Amino acid sequence: MSEIIYPTTNLKVTETLTIERGDGAYVYDTEGKQYLEALAGLWCTSLGYNNRELIDTTTEQMGKLAYSHMFGGKTHQVGIDLSDKLAAMVPVENAKVFFGNSGSDANDTHIKMLRYYFNAIGKPEKFKIISRERSYHGVTVAAASLTGLPPNHTNFDLPFDALGVLRTDAPHYYRNALPGESEDQFVDRIVNNLEALILAEGADTIAAFIAEPITGASGVIVPPKGYYQKIQAVLNKHGILFWADEVITGFGRTGNDFGCTTMGIEKPAMMTLAKQLSSAYMPISASVIRGDMYEAMIEPSAKVGVFGHGYTYSGHPVAAAVALKTLEIYERDNIFGRAAELGEYMQTRLREFLDHPLVGEVRGEGMIAAVEMVADKQTGQPFEGGAVGTFAMQACQDHGMITRAVAANSLAFCPPLIVTVAQIDEMIEKLGLALNDTLDFVTKQGLL
């Protein structure tokens, strides 16, 4: 082994896989074995591996200006160009952009900016944030508090009470609907629950509602039609800001520029961007806010003399250059349009597995999906624990494909956006083999 404390890993590490190199949609281990990267790393390597243009951009920028910070108004052209480009792309009105290094720290920045903004407009009591069950927003103390997953809280004494995180329903019809409830009834029930929560807490105490347009890391949940329209109506009625966490869904993943577009979310007040922003070649994130929020923050910062928030690597020039080049490639090569077409194909092919004895639900949109394995197809009864998901993930790996088990027993699919139809076919073939191995396993274990 090694001295590494592995992130998001059972610390009783029994097995590791040493990845040595990547090329296109594939990575290779030290034995030279090839794996199709069906999760684009951690939902991030949109342009695949060994992209020559991104590598050249990196080395050129490193040669020119390897580092410069943005404190006290220092700036550089790639940072300016990137912020211009992003502001023009996002559906946030008169967008202003704060750069960070990861999705988690970008969400922390947003929490702080919300407080700063509401303090500035004389509403200091309006700081609570509504987040959903089974959401993933990162792992710093604040971001993990927003996250709605028990493993990110247990033994860490989270969520952190002072943050005022309120929890509302996950919009997962398959898992959370009551017996006999239609999709419309389900949506109405959870939207009513949201409104009841707002009334109980007092709208004047709630700053924002955070949502991944399509939930990613906790199981790929695509809300039913009409959900966001109704959620937005309730939030608008009560003066609560919509905060879109687009860390996974941003930049073509769902077949459009942003998940907000795909899901009909109009004019979010804030947007979190990371991952595909740079195709993961460099760590960079962006916390985007509405222009009027920024305007309101100017006066109090002038009084103090500084907006006292910033990272050493906020607006790192190499990361900014790589992100700018990534956005240029997206546009030039029509990557989002391609993702829409490929996505339709991928979703159709994955739904073939609905006939498989283990598969209860296939869900997804565009180039993101999950296949959920269940103990009883008729009732949707889940397997207890996560052993089946772990087995299936390992079986995929044995067959030369990397994916992740999410929400215990679902396998997630989120390949690089540059995959070919033939590679999607390869993914389907390998998944078929892995599901059959898993069926043998559960049958032998008497789990089915």
Can you give the binding site for ligand PMP, defined by CB under 6 A? 42, 102-104, 107, 136-138, 212, 216-217, 245, 247-248, 274
Nearer to ligand PMP, 143 or 401 (CB): 143
Q: Which is nearer to ligand PMP, 137 or 430 (CB)?
A: 137
CB 207 within 8 A of CB 114: yes
Nearer CB in complex with ligand PMP: 103/164: 103
User: Which sign does the torsion angle of CA 174, 180, 183, 189 carry?
Assistant: negative
Nearest to 84 by CA among 339, 330, 337, 328: 328
Residue closer to ligand PMP, measured from CB, 61 or 278: 278
CA–CA gap between residue 190 and residue 210 (Å, rounded): 15
Residue-level length of the chain: 448
- In the complex, the smallest distance separating the C-beta of residue 245 from ligand PMP, rounded to whole angstroms, is 4
Taking the complex as a whole, how short is the minimal distance between the CB of residue 215 and ligand PMP, in angstroms? Answer: 8
Cβ nearer to ligand PMP, comparing 250 with 255: 250
Minimum Å gap between C-beta 248 and ligand PMP is 4
- Residue 276 CB, shortest distance to ligand PMP, in Å, is 11
Bridge pairing between strands 410-413 and 368-376? antiparallel
Between the alpha carbon of residue 386 and those of residues 146, 393, 398, the distances in Å are 23, 11, 18
Q: What share of the chain is helix, strand, coil (3-state, %, to 5)?
A: 45, 15, 40
Q: Pick from 120, 118, 122, 121: which is nearest to 164 by CA?
A: 118
What 3 state SS string does 264-285 have?
CCCCCCEEEECHHHCCCCCCCE
Q: In what order do the strands lie in the sheet with 26-29?
A: 19-23, 26-29, 34-37, 401-402
Following CA atoms 241, 245, 251, 256 in sequence, which dihedral angle do they give, to the nearest 10 degrees?
-60
Angle between helices 317-332 and 77-89 (to 10 degrees): 40
Q: Give 278 or 438: the residue with its C-beta nearer to ligand PMP.
A: 278
**Which single residue brings its beta carbon nearest to ligand PMP?**
103
Q: How far is the CB of 444 from ligand PMP (least distance, A)?
A: 34
Q: Measured from the CB of residue 143, what is the shortest distance to ligand PMP in angstroms?
A: 6
- Closest approach, Cβ 7 to ligand PMP, in A, equals 9
Closest residue by Cα to residue 130 from 116, 146, 144 = 146
Pick the closer one to ligand PMP by CB: 143 or 435: 143
In whole angstroms, how close is the CB of 274 to ligand PMP at the nearest point?
Answer: 5
Phi and psi dihedrals of 422, rounded to 5?
-60, -35
CB of 43 or CB of 186, closer to ligand PMP:
43
For the CB of residue 206, give the shortest distance to ligand PMP in the complex, in Å.
Answer: 20
Residue nearer to ligand PMP on the CB measure, 92 or 374: 92
